Structure 1
Amino acid sequence: MKYRKLGKSEIKVSEVSFGCMSLKGGEQENITLLNRAFEEGINYFDTADLYDAGENEKVVGKALESKRDQVILATKVGNQMRPDGSGWDWNPSKSHILNAVDESLKRLRTDYIDLYQLHGGTIEDPIDETIEAFEILKDQGKIREYGISSIRPNVIKAYVEKSNIVSVMMQYSLFDRRPEETCLDLLANHDIGVLVRGAYAKGLLLDKPAKEYLNWSKEEVKDLVKQLHAFGKNMDRTRQLVLQYPLQHKAVASVVSGIRTEVQLMETLEAIKENGTLPKDLDQLSEIFPKNYYQNHR
């Protein structure tokens, strides 16, 4: 496993990391899977207070408590659960963030969070107030660093200009090359790391049945995937190319993979190995998949 520095921080994360939202097994099954991932070299585990109304943080905390100093724990804030459990509301306020962190710390069984991320955001948010909350938490030692999870260029630019974020989590794949227009270079130029989600495009790039995706029609998706698989020649090679594609940009620190089973874990670990993948292979892929662009939030 290779490790990359997360932006300008001192945090180093594995090139492929564990997106804990995908955990759907029983508690012990999930704990076993998380520990196996750690044993195989994955050190970055990403969750959120929203996932399973906090239960996801609990299982992650229980699984990794004994190796806390060897892992990078990341969670997210901003979606506030309603008292009656009927759903959640967006709340990026200073008061909510300062209160929510303590609950996440308890569930994660730790006294600090390595990376605390705003779980979304709009340009209409009280951004200065949100940033102030994260800076207070850094000063208090409750978090080491902070970042945002967003695909909105205008929001990303605002945080780049105003804050000390070290990371942005964003959707990026062969089917979603929108970050390549401006966001990736902007973040690289400011030494802000990118955590990639959605690298498999909901499985469409592998073996899920074709359907509409972003600006692509079902037929376009089907045709592009056919070309991808012909280029990859077999599923293992195709998976490798799909996973390696986002990692080629210098801004990208890790691909956060949603892993549900040990089989998926081992397939992902095998795909992260370069095994002869050359830049020209990835260049050819970029010729097969046309670029697309953000239409909103610019």
Structure 2
Amino acid sequence: MQKRKLGQQGLEASALGLGCMGMSEFYGQGDEVESIATIHRSLELGINFIDTADMYGPFTNEILVGKAIRERRDEVILATKFGNVRGPNGEFLGIRGDAEYVRQACDASLSRLGVDHIDLYYQHRVDPKVPIEETINAMAELVKAGKVRYLGMSEAAPATIRRAHAVHPISVLQTEYSLWSRDSEEAILPTVRELGIGYVAYSPLGRGFLTGQIKSIEDLPADDYRHNSPRFSGENFQRNLDLVSEVERMAQEKGCSAAQLALAWVLAQGNDLVPIPGSKRRRNLEDNAGALNVELTAEDLQRIDRILPPGAAAGERYAAPQMQALNG
């Protein structure tokens, strides 16, 4: 398995990660047995970068991941997040980044995961009510205490990243990045590269759309949150489907799946970047892993740029309330 360095503090992970969110929520019914088998298969393939968050489930995804890695902790680069506050019934209670909450959230995650340290601890969303310096100082205390090894941020604006990095080195920024979400190319990617911060791309398959396996909104489970996603709604769905058809056509010519082509494109954007596609099943994980064997020529990359240039996708990344929490 190829390895990539993320940041300048010593963090190194597999070139491809595994996002675990969908195992517990948002993408229809989960299957714990298959999910754990998928995590184990990931480790067998050398994909050791496992991503979760306290809000997924809520709370149950960390428990599931902890159960899966219990006997294999030393093989895993474990990443989790705090900041999106949820109640016991799943209600969303806003964003918190105050020092007291940072400490509470970390201890709760350590308990649920059943581990004594977190390799990469992210602020999931920036709290506009709390100076970023307070949040990062509290996170830095966790590093000093040995509870956390490296610090990360998610969906933060360039100016906020700079302020945070001045307090304590940030190893990773995690933000959505894929063939149909290229917003970060304008300012965020240049900023993190200037500062020597690694980049983790979540939803590198466009929430599954770029796999070519979703042909109709009816293909999604009734309780799937994508029913409320702008890019899966109304006329946007067909417009985006037309774009994906072009990706499928090119993938067929390359002898790979559409998912593999989409992931290979993300991987080709730099060795400081790691995509973390979510997989609930082993067969999808294994297909995604095949992206590491797909070589894209300069001509291939130019063709992909013509098919899906920045801004090509129809619709916003999230519904309006969630969009307000981005680029904080």
Which range is displaced more, 131-140 or 83-92? 83-92
Q: Which amino acid aligns with 2:269?
A: H
Q: TM-score, normalised by structure 2?
A: 0.82
Residues 103-153 of structure 1: CA distance to partner in whole angstroms, max 9, x if unpaired?
A: 111111111100000011155532111011011101111100111111644
Partner of 1:183: 188
Partner of 1:174: 179
For residues 107 and 291 of structure 2, what CA distance do their matches in structure 1 show? 37
Confirm or deny: 8 A CA contact 1:167 1:195 kept in the other structure.
Answer: yes
Structure 1 position 238, deviation (Å): 2.7
Please show how residues 1-298 of structure 1 align to structure 2 within 5 Å.
1-24=1-24, 25-82=30-87, 86-150=91-155, 152-207=157-212, 208-209=214-215, 213=231, 217-233=236-252, 236-250=256-270, 252-274=272-294, 276-292=295-311
* Structure 1 SS opposite 2:231: coil
Which range is displaced more, 3-12 or 280-289? 280-289
For residues 271 and 297 of structure 2, what CA distance do their matches in structure 1 show? 19
Structure 1 position 16, deviation (Å): 1.1
For residues 108 and 52 of structure 1, what CA distance do their matches in structure 2 show? 13
Identify unmatched segments of 5+ residues in structure 1: none
For residues 166 and 80 of structure 2, what CA distance do their matches in structure 1 show? 23
Confirm or deny: 8 A CA contact 1:48 1:77 kept in the other structure.
Answer: yes
Identify unmatched segments of 5+ residues in structure 2: 25-29, 218-229, 317-322
Confirm or deny: 8 A CA contact 1:247 1:255 kept in the other structure.
Answer: yes
- Count of matched residue pairs: 297
For residues 163 and 57 of structure 2, what CA distance do their matches in structure 1 show? 30
For residues 41 and 289 of structure 1, what CA distance do their matches in structure 2 show? 30
Confirm or deny: 8 A CA contact 2:3 2:13 kept in the other structure.
Answer: yes
Over the residues paired in the alignment, what is the CA RMSD in angstroms?
Answer: 2.7
Q: Percent identity?
A: 31
Confirm or deny: 8 A CA contact 2:84 2:92 kept in the other structure.
Answer: no
For residues 286 and 261 of structure 1, what CA distance do their matches in structure 2 show? 30
For residues 173 and 271 of structure 2, what CA distance do their matches in structure 1 show? 10
Q: TM-score, normalised by structure 1?
A: 0.89
